[in-house]
Structure 1
Amino acid sequence: MKKLLLLFGILALILFISFSEKGQVIKQVATTYVSTPDYINEEGNTIRKRIDVPEGFVRSKYSPGSFQHYLQNYALKPFGAKVINYDGNEYWYQAGHVGVLEIPVPDNGLQQCADALMRIRAEYLWNNNRKDEIGFNFTSGHYCSWKKYSEGYRPRIHGNKVDFNKIANANASEENLYNYLNLVYTYAGTLSLYHELPKITSINELEVGDMLVYPGSPGHIVMIVDLAIHENGEKLFILAQGNTPAQSVHVIKNPNDTSLSPWYSLETNTTLVIPTYHFNETKFIRFKGL
């Protein structure tokens, strides 16, 4: 009876919710509680193994060693794993995801939405002997590279002015990489990524590894982590996100089309609602040297 009442309450919320941005998010959150995605393999322990492809579509294949291949084969926690906040507590909303990535959440609270994606990119470059390519712009526009940081250079920040001075001993260890990333998390975000990175203006050009971003303070960003293509050229996408507060990176459901979920059909320059967020305009960016 309690479950039935809860169901009626959620359905009532869906029926009577306003059509404001906030209302659309609440509506889609409610939808995720009463929908079960069809394309899920609960035994799958990576993104590509967890999510099946709809009939008529073929999953895109990428070369081993590529960023796209890295993301498609990213390890997931067992099905049903919870999204956990940086403080060790469960996130209040557990109905919006179909997988949790095996990526730790530091207890300092810094690794929020953009930060989590920068970490994934940095770890990919690190693990593929491309360490000198690790680097991100601060919101001020100043480039902060891992190479200079590992040599002992640190930023001195005065408002929007930044200069780098050698004040620390050289340390190229993996442990120090995460000290560097904590610095990046503090001074970079959705706004800096948007201004730094190339823009993708056509759906036909979108690939795994590209990101949908609202640049702001706060803003939000999600990453394409899988892609399937129909013989007629139609593309479907899987999205993953970190969030605020800092929490587990997770693969999200599609509350807009529960028959297709967790796959998304995307368009440029339109609105999109995902669990807990409303994009006023869909803008896409891509890491350099992907």
Structure 2
Amino acid sequence: MKRNILMTIILPFLPIAHVEKTTKANIPLQTTQNTNTRPAMVSEIPLPAGFKRINYPAVSFAAWLRKIPIKKDTLVHLFNGKLKINQDAQYAVLDVPVGDKDLQQCADAVMRLRAQYLYDQKRYSEISFVDNAGKKYTCPGKLDSIHFQRYLEMVYSHCNTYSLEKQLHPVDDFSKIMPGDVLVKGGSPGHAEMVMDMAVNESGKVIYLLAQSYMPAQDIHILKDPLYRKLSPWYWVDKDNSFIYTPEWTFATSQLRRW
């Protein structure tokens, strides 16, 4: 299926995979859970020692994201069943269908998670995405799984990183980052990743998880942290950082957006 040219993104690999920084506050980065057992959902991804997950309301997007199941297999597969060439970016793979078309790429995965949350909350009229021309694609109401997937495929075919960046609201202070927020660079090339979870320690240090899909359409996966490998898959919320280095993209902190 042909897509809007802005949906086609070519994302460069970053030459930072060999970098490991360990100069953060001298906290032990051993996990507080048994790493021999793979987490069954996002909420079970182990934390660094001394950290606790931040509490969010039970009906919030943040709480919903934590309940997303994780596959036992850590391999990322493309929409056609083939393995992604780069298998070094992911810590874990979300058990979320990718479909059998090359549609659910980076921005699409972000929209998929947001749409599924609102659908589960029966907030059908809030499931709405806007294309580059300003046209809205709103979910018509309660749908069966087949027709909901068709609705999403229509969204994927008309919306992209550029339209998503325009639709979402800028977060001026990166330290106010929340689960469900989106790092997005609109354009071609462009990319989008979603904040999946957050935790804090007694000294106020905050960490977060990121997830992405990519091109071609592929499993949504939790990303490793290529800069602080001992902290991985968690990322620091650091006011001194101007950039967020992820395995296959680099964002500026000014590119954080919110629904």
Alignment length (residue pairs): 237
Question: In the TM superposition, what is the alpha-carbon distance from 1:26 to its structure 2 partner?
Answer: 3.1
Q: Does 1:136 align with 2:129?
A: yes
Other structure's SS at 1:191 match: helix
**Which of 1 and 2 has greater Rg?**
1
Question: In the TM superposition, what is the alpha-carbon distance from 1:56 to its structure 2 partner?
Answer: 2.5
- Pair 266,175 (structure 1): closer, same or farther in 2 beyond 3 Å: same
Could you tell me which runs of 5 or more consecutive residues in structure 1 were left unpaired when the two chains were aligned: 1-20, 151-170
Whether contact under 8 Å (1:213, 1:222) holds in the other structure is: yes
1:275 pairs with one of 244, 247, 255:
247
Question: In the TM superposition, what is the alpha-carbon distance from 1:22 to its structure 2 partner?
Answer: 5.9
Other structure's SS at 2:184 match: strand
Q: Does 1:230 align with 2:201?
A: yes
- Pair 244,282 (structure 1): closer, same or farther in 2 beyond 3 Å: farther
Please give the residue correspondences for 1:45-124 in structure 2 after superposition, counting only pairs within 5 Å: 45-49=40-44, 51-78=45-72, 80-124=73-117
The residue identity in structure 2 corresponding to 1:235 is: V
RMSD, matched Cα: 2.3
Whether contact under 8 Å (2:211, 2:223) holds in the other structure is: yes
Please give the residue correspondences for 1:82-231 in structure 2 after superposition, counting only pairs within 5 Å: 82-147=75-140, 172-231=143-202
Q: Does 1:261 align with 2:250?
A: no
Could you tell me which runs of 5 or more consecutive residues in structure 2 were left unpaired when the two chains were aligned: 1-10, 21-28
Name the CA distance, whole Å, in 2 between partners of 1:286 and 1:270: 18
TM-score normalised over the length of structure 2: 0.84
Question: In the TM superposition, what is the alpha-carbon distance from 1:226 to its structure 2 partner?
Answer: 0.8
Whether contact under 8 Å (1:201, 1:283) holds in the other structure is: no
Name the CA distance, whole Å, in 2 between partners of 1:81 and 1:273: 21
- Pair 172,72 (structure 1): closer, same or farther in 2 beyond 3 Å: closer
1:26 pairs with one of 4, 15, 18:
15
TM-score normalised over the length of structure 1: 0.75
Other structure's SS at 2:109 match: helix
2:214 pairs with one of 236, 243, 247:
243
Cα deviation, 1:37-75, whole Å, max 9, x if unaligned, reads 9647333200121x2222232211222221100111210
Whether contact under 8 Å (2:30, 2:48) holds in the other structure is: no
